[in-house]
Amino acid sequence: MPPYLLGLRLGGRRVLVVGGGRVAQRRVPALLAAGADVVLVSPEVTASLEGLIDAGRVAWHRRPYRRGDCAGAWLVQAVTDDAKVNGDVVAEAEAARVWAVRADDAESSPAWTPASGQAGETTVGVLTGGDPRRAAGIRDAVVEGLRDATLESRHSRQKPAGVALVGGGPGDAGLITVRGRQLLAMADVVVTDRLAPAQLLDELADDVEVIDAAKIPYGRTVTQDRINDHLVEHARQGKFVVRLKGGDPFVFGRGGEEALHCARHGIPVTVVPGITSAVAVPSAAGIPVTHRGVAQEFHVVSAHVAPGHPESTVDWEALGRAGGTLVLLMAVERMALIAAALMRYGRSSDTPVAVIQDGTLPGQRAVTATLGTVADEMAAAGVRPPAIVVVGDVVNVAREIDMIRADMGRDP
């Protein structure tokens, strides 16, 4: 007969785990996440369990199981490698009318642990008649569907109110966060950036209103004031508004301005961080912005105004003296002036530079140069925005990786 599924609320309740091996290592963190008071009985434990014990999160009795250990437990997990011990543990629990799970023998286990997963506030549990691999496969499919919003209703009763500022990541639609994708699927109105992953818009329902808030350099643009007004106007109509941005809303994305504007008008705001292009794009090109023995720091700079411009707040002199990595955004049109300033303030003309255009997208391409040649190399290659400029010796790490791969690919 089929089992009766039940969600146990274990907060503050004693749960006994007998065994300290790999099965216990999987189950104990889930019990802790449910708020259980976990008592572990085992002569030895794995390193991960020892870390939880050292942190005071698990009480450990460093010895074999003894009759009487089940006393006071609300739930018992018998997960040792010894079938006899597991049987004895379950027998004691049964006699005390305490539910017990036996990991090594599903047929002899009074209770089964479902393959479980979490997607937001939704918990998924799957049982398939004692077949754990099949249960895990079904669990994964359901959780993935919830996380990528393919199973999420736009009319969910848990739809947030007001405005969500969602970071869409560096360009590739697969790099938006799970939460960002969920909220996008619930939107009534989407106010989108030019650099937001456009592919995601094709997944929206037909009745979702999409407002183009593109800001094209030296071209058509929507003012920030008008964008702010869009957010408030639609939210006041009771619609859930998603402001979809490229990168992260609070990294040169004016998310702070939009959050302030909504707050001043009493509109609740949910902020969903995104993967910033300042780190993701160099990574996609094989360049670590930090590397042991090479760079212990990196600086992210908005270069939308050139060095020496009255509106510039960047301390170019300090950056020229610094030895860490520089990641420059919006620098394409001003790279000659930036390179000159960095060299004037101390950076060597031989400093490696990489320029990555359309990072994470199918058309991604990179130009490598030095600080002394980068402006000419960019002009010759026809580099255009959006592009990320990386200045520093970390560029050579990517070159080394490429050389190793090339050597390994050659015929012996």
Q: Which of 253, 275, 297 is where one domain is finished? A: 275
Residues 283 and 395 reside in one and the same domain: yes
Coil, helix or strand for 401?
helix
The pLDDT of residue 205 is: 82
The pLDDT of residue 411 is: 55
Q: DSSP secondary-structure letter at 327?
A: E
The pLDDT of residue 220 is: 59
**198-256: pLDDT as tens digits:** 888 888 888 899 998 876 555 557 889 999 999 999 999 999 999 999 999 999 999 99
**Any domain includes 3:** no
Q: Give the residue numbers spanning the domain of 174.
A: 163-275
- Amino acid letter, residue 378: M
The ranges of the chain with pLDDT < 50 are none
Please classify residue 207 by burial: count the beta carbons closer than 10 Å to its beta carbon, then call 0-12 exposed, 13-18 middle and 19+ buried.
Answer: exposed
**Any domain includes 41:** yes
**Any domain includes 52:** yes
Residues 285 and 247 reside in one and the same domain: no
Residues 198 and 283 reside in one and the same domain: no
Q: DSSP secondary-structure letter at 256?
A: H
Q: Tell me the CATH number at 34.
A: 3.40.50.720
Q: Which residues are identified as catalytic?
A: 193, 215
Alpha helices in 121-172 (DSSP H): 132-147
How far is residue 215's CA from residue 302's CA, in Å, rounded to a whole number? 16
Q: Tell me the CATH number at 185.
A: 3.40.1010.10
Q: Which of 275, 302, 319 is where one domain is finished? A: 275
Which residues in 224-359 belong to E strands, given as ranges? 241-245, 269-272, 298-302, 325-329, 352-357
Asked if residue 90 lies in contact with residue 102, where contact means CB atoms within 8 angstroms, the answer is yes
Residues 271 and 296 reside in one and the same domain: no
Residues 303 and 245 reside in one and the same domain: no
**Any domain includes 148:** no
**Separation of CA 314 from chain center:** 29
Residues 188 and 102 reside in one and the same domain: no
Residues 28 and 102 reside in one and the same domain: yes
**Any domain includes 296:** yes
DSSP string of 180-230? HHHHHHH-SEEEE-TTS-GGGGGGS-TT-EEEE--B-TTS-B--HHHHHHH
The pLDDT of residue 115 is: 84
Q: Tell me the CATH number at 354.
A: 3.30.950.10
Q: Is the pTM of this model over 0.75?
A: no
**292-301: pLDDT as tens digits:** 999 999 999 9
Q: How many structural domains comprise the chain?
A: 3
Residues 354 and 310 reside in one and the same domain: yes
